Amino acid sequence: MVTLIANIVGYTAAVVGTSLMLPQIIKSLKTKKVKDISFIMLVFYFLNCILWLIYGILISALPVIVANSIALLISIFQIILKIIYS
Amino acid sequence: MVTLIANIVGYTAAVVGTSLMLPQIIKSLKTKKVKDISFIMLVFYFLNCILWLIYGILISALPVIVANSIALLISIFQIILKIIYS
With an 8 Å Cβ cutoff, the interface of chain A facing chain B consists of 2-3, 5-6, 9-10, 12-13, 16-17, 19-24, 26-28, 31, 33-38, 40-41, 44-45, 47-48, 51-52, 54-55, 58-59
What's the pLDDT tens digit per position in B39-48? 999 999 999 9
SS3 at position A21: coil
Q: Is B51's CB within 8 Å of A24's CB?
A: no
B chain contacts of residue A3, beta-carbon cutoff 8 Å? 59
pTM: 0.92
B chain contacts of residue A44, beta-carbon cutoff 8 Å? 16, 19-20, 23
Contact A40, A34 (CB under 8 A): no
Q: Whole-angstrom Cα distance, residue A44 to residue A50?
A: 10
Mean pLDDT by 10 residues, chain B (86 residues): 90 92 97 98 96 94 92 97 97
Q: pLDDT tens digits for chain A (86 residues)?
A: 888 999 999 999 999 999 999 999 999 999 999 999 999 999 999 999 999 999 999 999 998 899 999 999 999 999 999 999 99
How far, in whole angstroms, is CA B37 from its chain's centroid? 15
